[in-house]
Amino acid sequence: MVPHPHVANPNRADLFGVDLSDRGPVYTQGFTHANPVPSAYRVGPFVFSSVITGRSQRDRSLPGTLEEQAAAMAGALCAVIEGAGGTPDDVVHVTVWLADLGRKDVLNREWVALFPDPAKRPARHVLAGVLEGGKLIECEFVAVLTS
C-alpha cells in the first residue's frame, strides 16, 4: 500500500504546496514573555501565537481594569502579527480567556475596533479562565499570512 503523499512522509518538506521548511520563532519588539518562549511561531504562512495578555508593552505592568487590559491585549496582538509579517486581516482564529464571562461586552467593543469589517473577522472562542496575577483577559491566535 502506498501512503498518502502528505502523511508520515519524513522526506516531504511541504504540505499541499506549502513550504514547511521556512519556519522559526517570532520575537516582537516591546512584547516579551516571562517564560522562555517566543511571541509566536511561524511555519510557512501559518502563525501560532503564544499567550497574549493585557500587560503594558512599555513596562509590563498590568492595568487594573478589564477595559484597559482588553485594549492592551488588542495592541499586543497587532504587534505580534505585525512582527510575523502580517496584519490583523491575516488572523483566522482567536481563543480568548476571560476571568468573568459576563463581561463579553468589553471584549466585543475591542473586537469590533480591531476587526471592523464583519467579512474579515476571524473565528473566536471565548472561555472562562482562572487567570493568575490579576489578569482579567488573555488570548492566543492562529493566522495565515497572505502576502
Cβ-based burial of 99 (10 A; exposed 0-12, middle 13-18, buried ≥19): middle
Q: What is the rounded CA–CA span in Å between residue 57 and residue 74?
A: 11
Give Cα 138 to chain centroid, integer Å.
Answer: 10
Helices 104-114 and 66-83: crossing angle in degrees, nearest 10, is: 30
pLDDT tens digits along 90-107: 999 999 999 999 999 999
CA dist 54 and 75 (Å) reads 9
Alpha carbons 18 and 141: distance in angstroms, whole number: 20
Residue-wise pLDDT for 18-53, tens only, equals 777 888 999 987 677 778 899 999 999 999 999 999
> Domains in the chain, please, with CATH?
25-144 (3.30.1330.40)
pTM given for the model? 0.86
